[in-house]
Amino acid sequence: MSSHLKSNVIPPSRQREVPRTGMTWIGQSMKRVEDPRILSGKGGYIDDVAVPGMAHAAMVSSPHAHARIVSIDTSKAKALPGVIGVYTGEDLATVADPCPSFAAPPITQHAISVGKVRHVGEVVAAVVAEDRYIAEDAAELVEVEWEILPPNVDLEVAAAAAGDALLHPDDRDSNVALDESFSFGDVDQHFAEAHTVVKRRLRWQRSSAQAIETCGVVAQFDPFKGGYTIHSNSNFYNFIPFVIGGSLRVSPGELRIIPVLTGGSFGSKVFNHKIIILTAGLARLAGVPVKYIEDRLEHFTNSDSHGSDRLYDAELAMAEDGTFTSLRFTVMDDYGAYLQFGVGTHGNAMAQVTGPYQIQSFGMRVMAVLTNKTQQGPYRGFGSEVTNWVMERMVDAAAEELGRDPVALREQNMIQPDQFPYMIPTGNIYDSGNFQKVLEEAKTMFDFDGWRSKARAMRAKGRCVGVGLATCMERSVYGPTEWWSLNNKETPGFTLTSTPEGITVRLDPSGKMFVTLNSPMVGNSPETVVAQILAERLTIAPEDIVFNYSDSQSGFNGVGPQGSRFTAMIAGACVSASIKLEEKLKRFGAHMLQRRPEDVELRNGAVAVKGLKDQEKAFGEIALTSSFFRLSFPDGEEFDSGIETTAVYDHPLSTDPAEDRSHLGIFYPIVGHICHIVAVEVDPGTGKVEILDYTAVHDNGTMVNPRTLAGQVWGGTANGIGTTLSEVFEYDEDGQFTNPNFAEFAMPTANEMPRNFKLGHVETPSPYTEYGIKGGGEGGRLGAPSALTSAIEDALSDRGVKIASLPVTPPILRGLIRDAEQAATG
């Protein structure tokens, strides 16, 4: 281990439930608990919420990328019948302060802009009216006088801009909001000693999750009961009151956030703080409950959830035999107009930046550039999807320059099964894995060698067929240091280190088990996994469990589904709750059976005497007795009525970043591994790519529900296919966002998905989480872009086409082919 990592000591495992085979519920593809109510149309999404007296909001959005607001005339809009109020940024500022910012030092963002606008779609005024139609009528009547400022569109130009082109002259004297350099290990020395250094400039362009449901809020303000009641489809409802209370000038306790079923997130609804502050502020100003649901255009242009938009200058150092020694890069990231989460997406990428390979050191300069675009937020992968692609691009480039087989080069450099836990140069660890097994499995399923020779033969006949393979990491169970560890050491910001997940479990006298979750359902399967885990641990039937969700006042400690954390974290909470509940059940049950607690065990939903067949008390009977027949039990508080417990689980394995940032500590240690292999055919005349065959093998540790995991892999792969082949946000030179709609921002339909998708699993359980569970919510998008890019490059290898930028839409790919053709003919 490199000496810079010596201080980063791996804590002991807190695992209580060891992985084992032959479990009753864990590992079953049980039908989802959540589905019947959703399938029957009774899910209850944000736009289904209606409260008495509710009015509707519509926004006046900026048509300009960068402009000063000279004046706003709302008089015509206010005069329209049905309009309750029209509010500008100044009006909102009377009840709300700027949005919270994780950038350190912060960058000011108002939910309704004050003074100037910084991207197309930014809100300049809001209308509250009796219905949305009228609100939109009035929004059209608001007159704004603008003074146009120079738009920042290109990230390199923006980085050098000054004067009127500065986005936030009050907060920063440059559009580069953060510029930090790191060296983890002996980077300079490794590069100095390298036999070969491969260099590439790589570009990853902007897109976003675009869940089919947009973000929305229903907010009420009651000055007498002291606070806000807010329905929101945020992922993070138990956490945000603390973050936004200040903005809304109430204590966090005066914010009651009620979750709803959420129509997809993929990161895009992680916080949603701006829309909550906006709608809540409007409700307070208008004096009526207000509903605001983004329409699709607003979701594209103002939802603050654009994905990574990066330019890398990357270098990989190697020894003569192809052994990787060091990786370094400079990365500029176009964050758009604000920096809500600092450079958390780069912090995230530090979890697995060196991929599945043994690389001794890593160095980075990261620059967060502000431009006149909608700001970034999380999108499935949270930045690691980009570094996975960069790493795999660099390995393919190395193979090419060394004249080596790309798969053999990967195998040569891979971390070996006996090296876990393996600490990478940044300080994060990989808890466990068997990358070789995943690779072998994938190659076999795909018939990799067969396909490679088939593709070669087809290329010999003039067809552009190729095969690509990627071996990538899928970190899971995030720790929050990623949000701030790359901030300047002197101004680290809010150095949060907790990501707890809690659960409340109550055994009802009816025999039902009531479970309260503290994180919402966003398309993952929280109820299903909890049902399976509790059923496993407590020997009950999953159908006897009834779910509900706390609100932010009744619940506690929920961080939500993100960072592929929920299943592993809630499993921990379930185990903690089960331990407490088991003890209570045994105490009560043993008393009813006239035995000692140590003589009884849990068996099929009953407390049963060890070794005796018919001596048992069903949980329901115990709950009933303990709830209604107090005198059947001895005095003493250990027999207080009811069988109920609340439990919380903290991150299973994390350490602090080093003070001097020589390493970043352990923060994302539960790693999965994935191998994607794909065969494609390119139509060289049109640049269209057809996927001929696709195999993905994922190792996400112990699988709770193989089918729901498969659903995540497929969905993520579909996202990755879109990211690679068709999805990109286009901005013209004026900063106009030219394709913010579903017709032109082309997300894959069923027609674009591979016909022949094979999915395999390897299970390497984690030694740190309960049952060995790892997260698996992001993997598809973490692997597909790399594999597809390689396949396309392979298909066009005879034409000398190199891919250094994503996406490769047909026009872009055809452009690369055209350039290569022209280069070949001189």
Partner 1 sequence: MTGNQFTEGGTNMTKVSFKVTVNGRAREATVPPRMLLSDFIRQELSLPGTHVGCEHGVCGSCNVIVDGQAVRSCLMFAVQVEGSEITTVEGLTQGDALHPIQQAFWEEHGLQCGFCTPGMLATAQELLAQNPDPTDDEIREAISGNLCRCTGYEFIISAIRSAAVKLRETDTETTPQPV
Partner 2 sequence: MKPSAFSYECPNDLQAALALLASDGDTRILAGGQSLVPMMNYRLAQPERLIDINRLSELDYIRDDGGVIAIGALARHAAIKSSDLIKEHFPIVAEAYDWIAHAAVRNRGTLCGNLCHADAASEMPAIMQILEAELVLLKVGTSRVIAAQDFFLGTYETAIAADEILTEVRIPKPAAGTGWGFEEVAMRRGDYAWCTVVATLRISDGKIAAPRIAMAGVNDCAARLRDAEAALTEQTPGASLFDAVADTVADAATPAESSAGSAAYKRDLIRALLPRVLNDAVTRAT
For residue 749, give Cα distances in angstroms to 117, 390, 692, 723, 791.
35, 27, 16, 13, 21
Among 480, 523, 701, 767, binds ligand FES (CB under 6 A): 523
CB of 809 to partner 2, least distance (A): 7
**132 lines the binding site for partner 2 (CB under 8 A):** yes
**134 lines the binding site for partner 1 (CB under 8 A):** yes
**546 lines the binding site for partner 1 (CB under 8 A):** no
**What stretches of 555-620 adopt beta strand conformation (E)?**
600-603, 606-609, 616-618
What residue 538 binds from partner 2, partner 1, ligand FES, none (CB within 5 to 8 A, per partner kind)?
A: none
The count of residues interacting with partner 1 (CB under 8 A) is 66
**Which run of H or E residues covers position 403?**
none
**212 lines the binding site for ligand FES (CB under 6 A):** yes
**Residue appearing with tokens 């993952």:** 524
CB of 37 to ligand FES, least distance (A): 14
CB of 262 to ligand FES, least distance (A): 10
What residue 54 binds from partner 2, ligand FES, partner 1, none (CB within 5 to 8 A, per partner kind)?
A: none
Closer by beta carbon to partner 2, 21 or else 822: 822
Q: Are strands 670-683 and 464-476 parallel, antiparallel or unpaired?
A: antiparallel
Q: Which of 23, 1, 144, 35 is nearest to 525 (CA)?
A: 35
Contact of 532 with 25, CB cutoff 8 Å: yes
- Residues within window 752-771 making contact with partner 1, judged by CB under 8 A: 753, 755, 757
- Residues within window 47-86 making contact with partner 1, judged by CB under 8 A: 47-48, 80-82
**322 lines the binding site for ligand FES (CB under 6 A):** no
Among 413, 539, 726, 786, binds partner 2 (CB under 8 A): 726
**695 lines the binding site for partner 2 (CB under 8 A):** no
Question: What are the φ/ψ torsions at residue 291 (nearest 5 degrees)?
Answer: -105, 130
Closer by beta carbon to ligand FES, 522 or else 813: 522
Q: What is the DSSP string of 486-529?
A: TS-TT----------EEEEEEE-TTS-EEEEESS--SSS-HHHH
Rounded Cα distance between 561 and 563, Å, is 7
* Token pair recorded at residue 638: 């250990």
* Token pair recorded at residue 348: 């995230």
**825 lines the binding site for partner 2 (CB under 8 A):** no
What residue 634 binds from ligand FES, partner 2, partner 1, none (CB within 5 to 8 A, per partner kind)?
A: none
Which letter does DSSP use for residue 337 in this model? T
For residue 166, give Cα distances in angstroms to 147, 188, 247, 340, 377.
15, 34, 25, 18, 21
Rounded Cα distance between 161 and 150, Å, is 10
Closer by beta carbon to partner 1, 287 or else 715: 715
Among 730, 755, 800, 823, binds partner 2 (CB under 8 A): 730
Rounded Cα distance between 157 and 88, Å, is 32
Rounded Cα distance between 262 and 589, Å, is 40
Among 82, 150, 264, 322, binds ligand FES (CB under 6 A): 264
Among 388, 695, 708, 724, binds partner 1 (CB under 8 A): 708
**595 lines the binding site for partner 2 (CB under 8 A):** no
**39 lines the binding site for ligand FES (CB under 6 A):** no
Determine the interface stretch with partner 2 among 79-87, 607-615, 737-745, 756-764 (rule: CB under 8 A).
737-745
Rounded Cα distance between 687 and 681, Å, is 10
CB of 567 to partner 2, least distance (A): 33
Q: What are the residues binding ligand FES (CB under 6 A)? A: 212, 264, 523
Q: What are the residues binding partner 2 (CB under 8 A)? A: 132-133, 136-137, 140, 295-297, 683, 685-688, 726, 730, 738-739, 743-744, 746, 748-749, 751-752, 809-811, 814-815, 818
